[in-house]
Amino acid sequence: MNPLLKLTLATALALAPMAASSQCLLTGEGQQMQLSVDGKPYIILGGELGNSSASSEADIKRIFPKLNNMGLNTVLVPAYWDLMEPSEGEYDFALIDAAIREAEANNLKVVFLWFGAWKNSMSCYAPEWFKTDSRRFPRARTRQGKPLEIASAFSPDVLKADQKAFENLLRHISETDTRHTVIMLQIENEIGMLESARDFSPEATRLFDAPVPDKLTDFIKAHKSTLHPELLDRWKAAGAKTSGSWPDIFGTDVYAEEIFMAYHYAAYVERLAQTARRYTRMPLYVNAALNSRGRQPGQYPSAGPLAHLIDIWRCAAPTLDFISPDIYDPGFEQWVERYAILGNPLFVPEMRLCEANGAQAFYAFGEHRALGVSPFSIENGNEQGKLKMAYDALRSLTPILSSDAPRHGMLFESPADERQWLEDGVRITARHFFTLPWDSRATDGSPWPAAGAMLIRLAPMEYILAGSGVVMTFQSQDEAEASAAAQAQLGEDGFATAGSKPDAAKAARWNAKSRVGIVSVDQVEVLPDGQLRRIRRLNGDEDHQGRHARIGVDNFQVLHIKLYKYE
């Protein structure tokens, strides 16, 4: 039988079971926030269904077994207002029940997405009886006065209808979901104004010219030292006033209009969040269509739960647990960094479905202690693709990821990408696997696949390296600073490369006091109690005779690395 490799005492204590719970809770503080389901640590290895893929029971029954085979533990499912309340006051929860039933049958948890008054800004999922009565349920208007297919957030009747339907959904789930399959709720979907930065309906314009609520001005004064820089700069540029109309305090451009609109969208969502809290303690969040590609408010969905507006949303919607980015543009690292900030745990409910998703997931969990990730239109993914390999590896890591062990994430897509850390006096360098000369795809013009991994410190000189497509080297600090001229360039076999000049290598005296060596590299399995079971020892050619630890680009692995120093 393979030996069990013990984690350190500190790590083991951190893995102790949490207090029992009958549902999903958000626990911890600051950057240590994590999910707990039925008292056990939980990371969301998710996927979001395409917009129309849960609109029939037949589709739900067909798709959910595939999601289980893909390695998911959670599926994000639209809850459609138009199908749930086809006639005002008459409710049909058949699709909700089917999603919960099929999730239970396929070992999945569910996050419901409330497609209520707004979905991607528009009110396209509002019922027919709502859409056809624009007098009762007025629409937002552009600066030019054009009515939009966007319900006005300033209408009490819009809120009342939306809130009533949402409450009936929550009541139904609380009464029927006895196994607590539903673990989170998203309120609305990608809220935001299009064509104009704010609603120019008569009521919206009246409020824009009215005094800013004391709730917001008091919040700004109380949190002045921690405000998002963009909001702080805008407030200061307008004179740092603490009373007056919205133009008085924030200015007159589209960004000032966006702040106004964000406050009222958030205040609307807060009413729904308060309704949800009467039925559940599970986490509540909202998602954002990003302000990317150089667009201005109104060109992107203005006033949504965007990172630069997080203070406005925190003020007006304090019942929400966090805001989340939907990432479809390049620059995954930069986007998640904007949202992984103090008090706002990272959850990526939508990301473009692609081969890079597994690497992106490892980076998000490793660098930002993410609650979870979720590629969009997941039913179109590959059952045996790289995402399944990544999710299988991440699932096994849950006991360690729930600890407070220090960790770092890596995401590499080009030869220039590199990360370095100094841990325990060891200079750790990580690069893309293709920086090694051993795979023809590295040099034949093939696109470099995204590589993603995490490094977790278990104890001094002892680490977990998990992910795909990385190579990692280790040097003592003074060794790393030693003269490069004293170090021969070695080829893939460990011998000096052809044409190297031994005399040049001798020119500088070696001046490092110590070096770092590898005791062992083991491919391991993480057991449910956090112990490590060795699968195989990776030595010789597999660690380049003790020179590095590596994981190829075609699979995901978990490695246990032990180092030592010698003179």
Q: What is the pLDDT of residues 325-338, one digit of tens each?
A: 999 999 999 999 99
pLDDT for res 437: 85
Q: What is the pLDDT of residues 339-354, one digit of tens each?
A: 999 899 999 999 999 9
Higher pLDDT, 385 or 491: 385
Cα distance between residue 145 and residue 205, in whole Å: 11
DSSP state of 396: H
DSSP state of 27: E
The predicted model scores a pTM of 0.93
Q: What is the pLDDT of residues 385-421, one digit of tens each?
A: 999 999 999 999 999 999 999 999 999 988 889 999 9
Q: What is the pLDDT of residues 169-179, one digit of tens each?
A: 999 999 999 99
Whether 521 shows a pLDDT value over 50: the answer reads yes
- Sorted by sequence, the CB contacts under 8 Å of residue 113 that are 6+ apart come out as 48, 76, 77, 78, 79, 186, 189, 349
| Nearest partner of 452 among 566, 363, 368, judged by Cα | 363
pLDDT for res 511: 78
Domains of the chain: 16-137+158-192+263-403 (3.20.20.80), 409-566 (2.60.220.20)
Confidence band of 496 (pLDDT split at 50, 70, 90): low
- Tally of CB atoms within 10 A around 179: 12
Mean pLDDT of the chain: 92
Least confident piece of the model among 112-116, 130-134, 177-181, 480-484: 480-484
Cα distance between residue 289 and residue 121, in whole Å: 9
Confidence band of 30 (pLDDT split at 50, 70, 90): confident
| Nearest partner of 186 among 272, 124, 126, judged by Cα | 272
Confidence band of 490 (pLDDT split at 50, 70, 90): low
CA angle 267, 270, 271 (to 5 degrees): 100
Q: What is the pLDDT of residues 72-101, one digit of tens each?
A: 999 999 999 999 999 999 999 999 999 999
Contact 288, 190 (CB under 8 A): yes
176 in helix, strand or coil?
Answer: helix
Whether 10 shows a pLDDT value over 50: the answer reads no
| φ and ψ of 380, to 5 deg | -95, 5
pLDDT for res 477: 84
pLDDT for res 413: 85
Whether 485 shows a pLDDT value over 90: the answer reads no
pLDDT for res 512: 80
Q: Which two tokens stand for residue 81?
A: 């207002």
CA distances 268 to 156, 319, 506, Å, are 10, 12, 72
Cα distance between residue 323 and residue 363, in whole Å: 19
Across 267-293, b (16+ Cβ under 10 Å) vs e yields bbbbbbbebbeebbebbbbbbbbbbee
